[in-house]
Homo-oligomer: A and B are copies of this chain.
Amino acid sequence: MEDFERAKDKILMGTERRSVVMPENERKNTAYHESGHAVVAYLLPKTDPVHKVSIIPRGRALGVTMQLPTEDRFSMDRDQILQTISVMFGGRIAEEIFMNQMTTGASNDFERATETARRMVTQWGMSDALGPMVYGENESEVFLGRSVTTHKNVSEATMQKVDAEIRRIIDEQYALARKLIEENRDKIEAMTKALLEWETIDSEQIKAIMENRPPRPPQPPQSKSSATPKEDNKPTSTAAANEGSAQEV
């Protein structure tokens, strides 16, 4: 069972890189960052349950918050998508509040949050201001070995509206995530403490922390697994249909 869990982690989150020595300051920053993702994800009802949080570097990620869907998913609802964006901001916000700093590490979170908000506005018809239509199609197809670019122009006036809507979504979800983190400072502190001590915590430990109970220590086999041969491969993408669940620092 533990072997199976380890295999799943490796597939979903990438291989652990225990050989990397992180400066204590960055290790602490990563712990707050992942706790930020995890606490927001735990509190928002429409996002997937948090399966595991870890500050062991994997691939290019300094830490990982893994969410797993409870069943297959074929489409996403607007509320789910909005809450997912909030989860993406949890990391940076925790850095700001608890470490009093902003790092470059959140850049990938912003890229995914922006891309998701852009698709809500331009492809999924989820903005009242822009309505149920599609904007700014730029198709770049490779056809028979030649690149064919098609531009369908959108006016500057429309592009400004698109930009404003994306920004509104980003700002609202950021504010929601910030409110949740500020209201749950104790949870973030407790989870960060657990992560700094044990490096990885599971859903049961997360649940305890969120319910203000002391989390149980990690299972013995988990510590044994740390004795297995180190591997240092390239990261694999998460298997979750809800892309964006596994937060990288």
Protomer copies: 6
A79 to chain B, nearest CB (A): 7
Contact A75 B104 (CB under 8 A): yes
Q: Which residues of B contact A134 (CB under 8 A)?
A: 107, 110-111, 114-115
Contact A26 B74 (CB under 8 A): yes
A23 to chain B, nearest CB (A): 5
Q: Which of B72, B89, B104, B142 contacts A144 (CB 8 A)?
A: B142
Chain A, range 164-180, C-beta contacts under 8 Å to B = 166-167, 170-171, 174
Contact B104 A76 (CB under 8 A): yes
A224 at the interface (CB under 8 A from B): no
Contact B110 A133 (CB under 8 A): yes
Chain A, range 147-174, C-beta contacts under 8 Å to B = 147-160, 162-163, 166-167, 170-171, 174
Q: Do most interface residues of chain A lie in helix, strand or loop, or is the interface mixed?
A: mixed
Residue of B nearest to A155 (CB): B159
A22 at the interface (CB under 8 A from B): yes
Q: Given the known inter-chain contacts A132-B170, A153-B154, A157-B163, please indicate yes or no for A62 contacting B75, CB distance below 8 A.
A: yes
Give the interface of A toward B (CB within 8 A). 21-23, 26, 29, 57, 62, 71-79, 81, 89, 92, 101-107, 110-111, 113-115, 117-118, 123-126, 131-138, 140, 142-160, 162-163, 166-167, 170-171, 174, 249
